Amino acid sequence: MQTDVVLEIVIIVIAGLLLGMLAFALVGLTRVRSLRTRHRQRLATIDPRHSEPASLVGLASEGRLQTRGMGTLAVGDSHLLFAQLLPERDILVPRDAISSARATRHFLGKTTGADLLVVTWDVDGLADAAAFSVPDVAAWRDRLA
């Protein structure tokens, strides 16, 4: 008799855990879909001619103490956009404000084993730069020239 009660309790606990995990998975899936949708919408604002996954190494105006971020680097006719996934943020640069695009392995005191794309721009007298890890730095330099 006691064994039956213990077995019922174990079954109820396991069922509760499984339902909780299922609910957690469904909420996570919904959040991921929502994140992807917003990401695609942000990229669409510049009507990109080319885009690919990239990693932000740093933004000069934010100084040395910042975290890297994964996202998508996209170039359209009038703008360059880095749409970061988490936290969700955009770095939007008018193409005509870009003063240089170069390759380097050093940026803001960080060193990498591969070339980084460093884009420098000036908007209304305020200069800034960002470094990105992209698969083909030379191709990106050519696109931004």
Q: Mean pLDDT of residues grouped by 10 in the chain (145 residues)?
A: 84 91 83 90 96 97 89 98 95 98 95 96 96 98 95
Record the tokens describing residue 112, joined without a space. 């990498």
Whether residues 101 and 89 fall in one domain: yes
What pLDDT shows up at residue 1?
64
CATH number assigned to the domain comprising residue 78: 2.30.29.30
Supply the pLDDT for residue 66.
Answer: 86
Please tell me whether residues 61 and 39 are part of one structural domain.
no
* Residues 40 and 57 both lie in one domain: no
Cα separation, 41 vs 47, whole angstroms: 10
pLDDT at 27: 82
Which position has the token pair 């749409």?
Answer: 83
Total domains in the fold of the chain: 2
CA separation, residue 36 to residues 26, 31, 58, 111 (Å): 15, 9, 23, 31
Residue 2 has a pLDDT of 79
Asked if residue 87 has a cis previous peptide bond (ω within 30° of 0), the answer is: yes
| CA 128/CA 126 separation, integer angstroms | 7
Query: Do 97 and 37 lie in a common domain?
Result: no
Determine the structural domain holding residue 82 and report its residue range: 48-144
Q: Are residues 18 and 71 in the same domain?
A: no
